[in-house]
Amino acid sequence: MELELGLEENFKSVIKKLSAQFGDDIDMQAVLFLIGVQELGKGNIKFSKNEKLDVMHIAICSLLAPYGFYEFEGLDKDGWPHWKATEKLPALKPGQQLQLMKQSVVDYFNTENLFN
């Protein structure tokens, strides 16, 4: 229970900092999009609806790679990163999925030192 409280506090801190930086309320989808844009490294460009989904997929792969679920394969000719699944994701209940994503987001921002 204590671990969950620490995770919630840390995740709320990330959300608060992002919301202040972008001047808008940020939710998990927005966090995934921002991480995907960061990992894509192309800056602030206009994305089609399908590209936005691809950007969020980049974020999910980047976030779950440290847990061994994905491995970076390389960039395609357009500079988009590609990943391969290395381990099957465990069957998680929706609440457990959210906890895993929150933890991976907190870990990402700590590892990348994006707020320092």
**The tokens of 93 are what?**
């209940």
pLDDT in tens, 33-70: 999 999 999 887 899 999 999 999 999 999 999 999 99
60 in Cβ contact with 32 (< 8 Å): yes
What domain range is 73 assigned to? 2-112
18 in Cβ contact with 34 (< 8 Å): yes
pLDDT at 114: 67
pTM: 0.87
pLDDT in tens, 66-90: 999 999 999 999 999 999 999 888 8
Report the domain count for the chain: 1
* 12-21 long-range contacts, CB within 8 A, separation 24+: 14/105, 14/106, 14/109, 14/115, 17/115
